């Protein structure tokens, strides 16, 4: 772990939705450092596995005809966080998939999440399950 | 421009035209196709038996962590925004993953968002004609190495049905609660 790199990574607005079986985490990762980093793993005690996924709007490749849009998801090995930049994990885009939830996620619940960065190492955040 | 480029341009125009036509294959005002499936309590649910209720109908599955909860959440908020005016509005999720979504699973899932939401499942033989009637694409994708088992790519449209059983507009997962509330109001009127 690189202490300087860890100090450069700022996680904010980590939130989730009510779920059974498979949950989601959205958040914003900012990199205040001068070197890019990569989010390449995550884990939480509330789920068996956490994977990075990206939802893909197939209609984007069909001339923007969202009405016929087919949504799918692709696992992603890592997400680059550019130097002096940020990446927002949000509905319909990058998200963390919490697979094998050990209990249903209910509104207003909080749970811990650890994120791993290639340079910065592990860092922890608290995720809020947003009420509907 | 050379010949190949002209053909490419022509092909693009034809694809666009086909997509525009596809958009209107479910014309507003047409009778919504009837079906009988099994609801979250294990009881039969027949669409035409719910005349008098406006309905928001969409397709998804419980192992879907991003797009489906986004849609359920926005529909729940839209319904809440309308208050008593939306009291008899039925929000109905039809599974695209009958292998994993039984009635009990769907009940736990949709009721996380709103205790009035309906979740429907059935056999493939029961579901396939429903997917066809509502032009719902769904494809199990198991080859991506996800611990989620498999992912189901699926159409994200929300069909609104008026109390007299007619198609009255379409939304999708990316619509805000306010946008969905407008569609709900329009379907109920």
- Indicate which CATH number applies to the domain containing A34: 2.60.40.1890
A15 vs B150, higher pLDDT:
A15
Is A130 contained in some domain?
no
Listed range (A39-43, B21-25, B57-61, B111-115) with the worst mean pLDDT: B21-25
Does the pLDDT of residue B29 top 90, yes or no? no
Question: In sequence order, what are the residues at sequence separation of 6 or more whose Cβ sits closer than 8 angstroms to the Cβ of residue A94?
Answer: A52, A53, A54, A76, A79, A87, A88
B chain contacts of residue A51, beta-carbon cutoff 8 Å: 146-148
CA distance to partner chain A, nearest, from residue B58 (Å)? 12
Which among B16, B64, B73 is the nearest to A132, CB-wise? Answer: B73
Nearest CA to CA, how far is A74 from chain B (Å)?
7
What's the mean per-residue pLDDT of chain B? 88
Contact A21 B62 (CB under 8 A): yes
d(CA B30, CA A83): 53
* Cα distance between residue A108 and residue B18, in whole Å: 46
For residue A95, what is the nearest residue in chain B, using CA coordinates? B66
Measured between beta carbons, the chain A residues lying within 8 angstroms of B109 are 20
Alpha-carbon distance B44 to nearest alpha carbon in chain A (angstroms): 24
pLDDT digits (tens, 9 = 90+) for A95-112: 999 999 999 999 999 999
Contact yes or no for A18 and B113 at CB 8 A = yes
CB atoms within 10 A of CB A4: 11
| Distance (Å, whole) CA B62 – CA B97 | 8
* A127 domain residue, yes or no: no
Indicate if the pLDDT at residue B14 is higher than 80. no
The pairs formed by B101-108 with CB atoms below 8 angstroms and a separation of 24 or more are B101/B61, B101/B62, B103/B38, B103/B39, B103/B40, B103/B41, B103/B42, B104/B40, B104/B42, B105/A20, B105/A21, B105/B62, B106/B40, B106/B62, B107/B40, B107/B41, B108/A20, B108/A104, B108/B62
The CA-to-CA distance between both ends of chain B, in Å, stands at 52
Residue A93 token pair: 């885009």
Q: Give B138-165 pLDDT, tens digit per residue.
A: 888 875 678 888 889 888 899 999 999 9
The partner residue sitting opposite A24, judged by closest CB among B65, B77, B154, is: B65
Q: Report the domain count for chain A.
A: 1
B81 touches chain A (CB under 8 A): no
- In the prediction, which pLDDT does A59 show? 56
% of chain A residues with pLDDT over 70: 91
Does any CB of chain A come closer than 8 Å to the CB of residue B154? yes
pLDDT at A17 over 70: yes
Bridge partners, A101 (sequence order):
A47
What are the distances in angstroms from CA A11 to CA A28, A105, A123, A127? 6, 21, 9, 11
Residues B116-139: pLDDT tens digits? Answer: 999 999 999 999 999 999 988 888
Q: Interface pTM (ipTM) of the complex?
A: 0.87
pTM: 0.86
Q: φ, ψ for residue A26 (rounded to 5)?
A: -115, 150
Residue A61 predicted with pLDDT over 90: no
Which DSSP category does A17 fall into? -
Q: How far apart are CA B148 and CA A49, in angstroms?
A: 9
Residues of B in contact with A90 (CB under 8 A): none
Question: What's chain A's Rg over C-alpha atoms?
Answer: 15
Assign residue B129 a region (left: φ > 0; alpha: ψ between -120 and 50; beta: otherwise): alpha
Q: Do A98 and B15 touch (CB under 8 A)?
A: no
Which pLDDT score is estimated for B72?
96
* Candidates A73, A90, A127, partner chain B, best to mutate (most B CBs within 10 A): A73
* Chain A interface includes B61 (CB < 8 A): no
Whether A132 is covered by a domain: the verdict is no
On whether residue A98 sits in a domain, the answer given is yes
Cβ count near B181 (within 10 Å): 21
List the domain range (segments joined by +) for residue A94.
3-102+110-121
B185 CB-near residues (< 8 Å, 6+ apart): B82, B85
* Contact yes or no for B70 and A17 at CB 8 A: yes
CA distance B77 to B95: 21
* More confident: A68 or B116: B116
pLDDT for A72: 86
Residue A67 has pLDDT above 50, yes or no: no
A7 assigned to some structural domain: yes
């Amino acid at each position: 772990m690189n202490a300087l790199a860890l100090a450069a990574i700022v996680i904010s607005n980590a939130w989730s939705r009510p779920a059974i079986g498979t949950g989601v985490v959205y958040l914003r990762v900012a990199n205040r450092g001068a070197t890019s980093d990569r989010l390449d793993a995550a884990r939480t005690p509330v789920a068996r596995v956490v994977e990075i996924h990206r939802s893909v709007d197939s209609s984007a490749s069909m001339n923007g005809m969202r009405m016929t849009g087919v949504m799918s998801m692709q696992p992603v090995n890592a997400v680059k966080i550019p130097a002096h930049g940020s990446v927002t994990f949000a509905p319909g885009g990058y998200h963390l998939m919490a697979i094998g939830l050990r209990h249903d996620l209910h509104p207003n619940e909080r749970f811990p999440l650890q994120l791993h960065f290639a340079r910065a190492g592990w860092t922890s955040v608290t995720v809020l399950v947003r009420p509907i | 421009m050379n010949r190949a480029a002209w053909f490419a341009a022509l092909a693009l125009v034809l694809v666009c035209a086909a997509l525009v036509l596809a958009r209107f294959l479910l014309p507003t005002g047409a009778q919504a196709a009837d079906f009988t499936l099994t609801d979250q309590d294990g009881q039969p649910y027949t669409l035409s038996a719910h005349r008098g209720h406006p309905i928001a109908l969409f397709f998804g599955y419980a192992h879907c962590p991003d797009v489906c909860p986004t849609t359920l959440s926005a529909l729940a908020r839209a319904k809440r925004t309308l208050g008593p005016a939306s009291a008899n509005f039925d929000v109905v999720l039809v599974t695209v993953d009958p292998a994993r979504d039984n009635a009990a699973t769907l009940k736990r899932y949709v009721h996380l968002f709103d205790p009035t939401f309906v979740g429907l499942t059935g056999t493939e033989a029961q579901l396939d004609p429903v997917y066809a009637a509502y032009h719902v694409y769904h494809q199990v994708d198991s080859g991506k190495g996800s611990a989620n088992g498999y992912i189901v790519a699926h159409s994200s449209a929300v069909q609104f049905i008026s109390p007299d059983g007619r198609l009255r507009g379409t939304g999708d997962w990316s619509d805000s609660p306010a946008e969905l509330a407008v569609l709900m109001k329009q379907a109920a009127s």
